[in-house]
């Protein structure tokens, strides 16, 4: 039976007892609610799919589909639906099971009109608070998005311009500047570069949080990504004279993720491997297929990571502080970005390190054709 009313005040009642359905309908209609009643779970679920009501009252003991089965199904349809369970077989165990299944409240039969109204009023307040929280969260995300745009255009652009002016000054007037002044300009350039890196990393994190950085529907050729990264480092060699070698099989299948995010992922790991290396050291990139995944390993011969720092590596702004690393510039966001990219692509990232001997990061990413069948497998490239 159906009645007319405000859609946000709709209560769906599923109970095989006609008297109970009629009682709930009369009590709640007098309280100002719209009520629709159904004698079995199948009919009630179909209506919930159509109307997406705020609140459901469901009996536990019913033929065909019992209350627990109904709860499991409707939870997948609408995670915000407030569910009140009623039953004539009330026990503490039944109440606990109902709450574990996703019910909001539990009402044993028989109950008074006031008890039913009180629980339904409380359930609707819960639903309204949930919707209000979602609205506020959307507003917060919109404010953050606008702030990211503000930072991108209003802060980054002038910093880039200042750095370019200083580049031109050094290039055209280096011989005319006192050595101390030239040194100050170079120091300014370094600091500006650090600020720009922080802004760039922060913008990348913001895009990941909004789900707009990684395109999981795209695929990337790892060999081409690595080739471009190594080419960039060869054009601007490290002061440590670190060599970079790669071993990427030509028949390696494409991996899940767009080339930009994969390049950011691998590029951050290579950058760290170079910065935290020893003079004359090396960086090795290897990849292989392991089941439905591609395993990528980035190894260095650098300073290594102290055991106490391993658990903090992927925390925002965390940087390993040792005598060997205290003067190495960085934002503490590179590994955070790497982990979030890997997470967005349904992969995993691990690290092995021995202080003083080097570090290896191991990434497992799904191959493009099997991105829906990711299995958490461990494997090393030979």
**Does the pLDDT value for residue 374 go beyond 50?**
no
Distance CA 344, CA 168 (A): 40
Which pLDDT belongs to residue 332?
65
Which pLDDT belongs to residue 207?
64
pLDDT digits (tens, 9 = 90+) for 117-126: 999 999 999 9
Q: How confident is the model at residue 236 (pLDDT cuts 50, 70, 90)?
A: low
**Does the pLDDT value for residue 285 go beyond 90?**
yes
Least confident of 62-71, 224-233, 304-313, 340-349: 304-313
Question: Which residues lie closer than 8 Å to 80 by C-beta, 6 or more apart?
Answer: 54, 127, 130, 131, 134
pLDDT digits (tens, 9 = 90+) for 115-174: 999 999 999 999 999 999 999 988 887 777 777 667 666 777 788 888 888 888 888 887
Q: How confident is the model at residue 1 (pLDDT cuts 50, 70, 90)?
A: very low
Mean pLDDT of 189-208: 74
Q: How far is the CA of 100 from the CAs of 71, 105, 177, in angstroms?
A: 10, 11, 74
Report helix, strand or coil for 73. helix
Which pLDDT belongs to residue 321?
65
Mean pLDDT of 347-360: 90
Torsion on CA atoms 47, 53, 58, 63, rounded to nearest 10:
10
pLDDT digits (tens, 9 = 90+) for 24-53: 999 999 999 999 999 999 999 999 999 999
Taking alpha carbons only, the member of 227, 225, 224 closest to residue 235 is 227
Q: How confident is the model at residue 90 (pLDDT cuts 50, 70, 90)?
A: low
């Amino acid at each position: 039976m159906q009645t007319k009313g405000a859609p946000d005040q709709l209560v769906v009642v599923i109970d095989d007892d006609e008297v109970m359905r009629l009682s709930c309908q009369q009590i709640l209609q007098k309280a100002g609610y719209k009520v629709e009643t159904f004698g079995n779970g199948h009919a009630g679920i179909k209506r919930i799919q159509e109307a997406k009501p705020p609140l459901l009252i469901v009996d536990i003991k019913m033929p065909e589909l019992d209350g627990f089965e109904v709860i499991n199904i409707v939870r997948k349809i609408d995670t915000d639906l407030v569910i009140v369970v009623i039953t004539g077989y009330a026990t503490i165990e039944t109440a606990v099971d109902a709450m574990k299944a996703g019910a909001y409240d539990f009402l044993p039969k028989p109950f008074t009109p006031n008890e039913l109204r009180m629980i339904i009023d409380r359930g609707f307040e819960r639903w309204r608070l949930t919707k209000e929280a979602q609205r506020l969260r959307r507003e917060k995300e919109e404010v953050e998005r606008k702030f990211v745009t503000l930072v991108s255009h209003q802060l980054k652009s002038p910093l880039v311009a200042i750095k370019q002016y200083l580049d031109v000054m050094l290039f055209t007037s280096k011989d005319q500047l006192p050595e101390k002044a030239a040194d100050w300009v170079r120091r300014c350039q370094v600091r500006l570069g650090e600020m720009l890196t922080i802004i760039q990393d922060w913008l990348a994190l913001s895009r990941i949080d909004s789900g707009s950085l990684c395109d999981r529907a795209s695929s990337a050729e790892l060999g081409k990504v690595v080739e471009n990264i190594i080419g960039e480092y060869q054009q601007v060699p490290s002061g440590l004279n670190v060599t970079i070698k790669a071993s990427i099989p030509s028949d390696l299948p494409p991996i899940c993720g767009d080339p930009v995010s994969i390049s950011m992922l691998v590029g951050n790991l290579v950058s760290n491997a170079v910065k935290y290396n020893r003079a004359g050291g090396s960086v090795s990139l290897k990849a292989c297929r392991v089941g439905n995944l591609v395993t990528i390993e980035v190894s260095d011969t650098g300073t290594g990571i102290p055991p106490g720092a391993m658990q903090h590596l992927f925390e925002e702004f965390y940087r390993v502080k040792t005598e060997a690393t205290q003067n190495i510039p960085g934002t503490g966001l590179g590994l955070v970005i790497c982990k979030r990219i890997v997470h967005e692509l349904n992969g995993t990232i691990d690290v092995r390190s021995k202080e003083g001997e080097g570090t290896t990061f191991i990434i497992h990413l799904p191959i493009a054709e099997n991105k829906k069948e990711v299995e958490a497998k461990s494997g090393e490239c030979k």
